[in-house]
Structure 1
Amino acid sequence: MRPLVEPVASLAPEELIRTARHAVLAGIGEEGQRRLASARIAVVGAGGLGSPVLLALAAAGVGELVVIDDDTVERTNLQRQLMHRVDDIGTAKTASATRAVHDLSPLTLVHERHVRLTADNARELFAGAHLVIDGSDTFDTREAVAAATEELGIPLVWGAVQEWAAQLTVFWSAPPEGYAPVVLGDLFPAGSAGEPPTCAQVGVLGSLCVQVGGMLATEAIKLVTGAGDPLLGRLVVIDALRARHDVIPLVPAARPAVSP
């Protein structure tokens, strides 16, 4: 797949050193690193999935991150939301995320959006983003995120974790030639998903959040740089308790074409 982002002209000397292991990595290299520096990625949720996503993208040298979350850090978050620290308890998760990102990548620009994402503000929150990563934990939010990215024609890297299980994929209503447009409605037709139980009700494995968050960040890096094949049209299902990873084809339902 062609790269999603055009590269910046050059990297700062300290950034060349910090990201040197990408420069020798097949599929990224120095040019791919400049593409990452040019990327603007919106991350919905700074919790169990958003934490490893933001840490990985900051470490990778992504130029701009939009962090969207209306919550504050609680002590019960620390079991799985590894970006936050005890000293962050009571502060906005977006503020904690900014601190963590700058600790890893001082040149990454963080846009804090300490608001609840809704169908009314999603498009505005995603303005200028090359892609969106959804780490939210309610289906209303996931539907709002999906609808906005479908209208904008930008990729949506999507994941969900509950108890010992997880799912992840890439949705894109207007992908490049050769790829079928697959959206959230192809996985969960309208009204079919219901509302999943909360972490407080059934729990969630913290290490699985880290695993899936890393995979979501990898898909974003691939899209930005053009490395490898995206997870578009494939759903990864993880059963951590039984150490199983299954990849299931995901095809589009019949619907009108969407233009970017």
Structure 2
Amino acid sequence: MNTRQSERYSRHILLKELGMDGQEKILAAHALVIGAGGLGSPACYYLASAGIGKITLVDDDTVDLSNLQRQILHTTDRIGQPKAVSGKTTLSKINPDIDIIALNERPDEFRLHELAESASVVLDCTDNFASRHIINRVCVASRRPLVSGAALQFDGQVSVYDMRANDAPCYSCLFSADQPFEDRKAAQFGVFAPVVGIIGTIQAAEALKLVAGIGKSLAGSLLILDGLTMSWTRIQLDRNPDCPVCGKHQARAINHEAP
């Protein structure tokens, strides 16, 4: 860490739980962030400002005027631009010393596995169950810690699924891929702007704790926010031995051969 970095991250270094060693781990880490919208925006802001060494930002959508109420990575003059590219522009201005890879694509499962292999932590900032289940399967197979968030209307939820622990639950233990779930989008039901900010910021905090090796993560717990009353509920999560993704008899391996 050079003198300029020591000054930039001095308030982190002052934290006895983090210190110089923890900040060095953050600088050496690589976050794979899938989704550059309402959740990915605040998550990336804090990952970049905290000095995480590399961010790979993946999103195949473009910036729309209706996004700007909550997706703070983007600006009015970038309407029509790919969100990943717009996000890189913003993050490069926040911290020009980190490496930001913008991928304007919707990766399939094989491609996500390739991307996760080089990541220290994966942040799921998507808005649909199909993507969440694909990302979960990839993280289970690659044993990468997954920080998953969701928000709609005034409600939000966030958890960590860390398969490096043998008894840890995965996303599918809670929301089984075998059960039908209806995707409810912000475009249909609305979303209170600060709620995505709160959940995305927690995702960044959990990711930074994981890569720095400090504190206790949300693994094994689901944190639920009611934004109208600003109340929190914590639910304990247990691993499902019959989970079709991580269960010991039904673990699903990803085909590593390109399709």
Provide TM-score, normalisation by structure 2: 0.91
Letter in 1 for 2:13: A
Determine the C-alpha separation between the residues in 2 that align with 1:48 and 1:163: 12
CA contact (8 A) 1:66 1:111 kept: yes
Equivalent position SS for 2:117: coil
Aligned residues: percent identity?
32
Equivalent position SS for 1:218: helix
Determine the C-alpha separation between the residues in 1 that align with 2:75 and 2:89: 11
CA contact (8 A) 1:65 1:109 kept: yes
Q: Which residue of 2 aligns with 1:17?
A: 7
Q: Which residue of 1 aligns with 2:196?
A: 209
Q: Name the CA shift for 1:193/1:208 in 2 (closer, same or farther; >3 Å).
A: farther
CA contact (8 A) 2:33 2:56 kept: yes
Q: Which residue of 1 aligns with 2:244?
A: none
Question: Deviations 1:56-113 (Å, cap 9, x if unpaired)?
Answer: 0000000000101001111110001011111111111111111111111111101111
Q: Which residue of 2 aligns with 1:26?
A: 16
CA contact (8 A) 1:180 1:233 kept: no
Bigger shift: 115-124 or 95-104?
115-124
Determine the C-alpha separation between the residues in 2 that align with 1:163 and 1:191: 26
CA shift for structure 1 position 127: 2.8
Matched, 1:104 2:104: no
Determine the C-alpha separation between the residues in 2 that align with 1:86 and 1:196: 28
Determine the C-alpha separation between the residues in 2 that align with 1:147 and 1:137: 17
Runs of 5+ consecutive residues of structure 1 not aligned to the other structure: 1-10
Equivalent position SS for 2:23: helix
Equivalent position SS for 1:231: coil
Determine the C-alpha separation between the residues in 1 that align with 2:104 and 2:184: 24
Matched, 1:150 2:145: no
Matched, 1:114 2:104: yes
Q: Which residue of 2 aligns with 1:8?
A: none
How many residue pairs align between the two structures?
Answer: 247
CA shift for structure 1 position 244: 1.2
Q: Which residue of 2 aligns with 1:185?
A: 172
- Identify the match of residue 212 of structure 2 among 225, 229, 242: 225
Bigger shift: 57-66 or 82-91?
82-91
Q: Which residue of 2 aligns with 1:84?
A: 74
Determine the C-alpha separation between the residues in 2 that align with 1:13 and 1:96: 30
Bigger shift: 52-61 or 19-28?
19-28
Equivalent position SS for 2:184: coil
CA contact (8 A) 2:56 2:102 kept: yes
CA shift for structure 1 position 192: 2.2
Matched, 1:238 2:212: no
Question: Deviations 1:14-54 (Å, cap 9, x if unpaired)?
Answer: 11111110010132111111100000010000000000000
Question: Deviations 1:186-229 (Å, cap 9, x if unpaired)?
Answer: 11112325132211110011111111111000000110111110
CA contact (8 A) 1:52 1:213 kept: yes
Determine the C-alpha separation between the residues in 2 that align with 1:185 and 1:140: 11
Equivalent position SS for 1:168: strand
Determine the C-alpha separation between the residues in 1 that align with 2:107 and 2:18: 32
Determine the C-alpha separation between the residues in 1 that align with 2:117 and 2:57: 13
Determine the C-alpha separation between the residues in 1 that align with 2:196 and 2:176: 25
- Identify the match of residue 256 of structure 1 among 228, 248, 253: 248
CA contact (8 A) 1:118 1:141 kept: no
Bigger shift: 34-43 or 88-97?
88-97
Q: Which residue of 1 aligns with 2:152?
A: 162
Equivalent position SS for 1:159: strand
Runs of 5+ consecutive residues of structure 2 not aligned to the other structure: 242-246, 252-259
CA contact (8 A) 1:27 1:226 kept: no
CA contact (8 A) 1:27 1:225 kept: no
Provide TM-score, normalisation by structure 1: 0.91
The root-mean-square deviation of aligned C-alpha atoms, in Å, is 1.7
Letter in 1 for 2:239: P
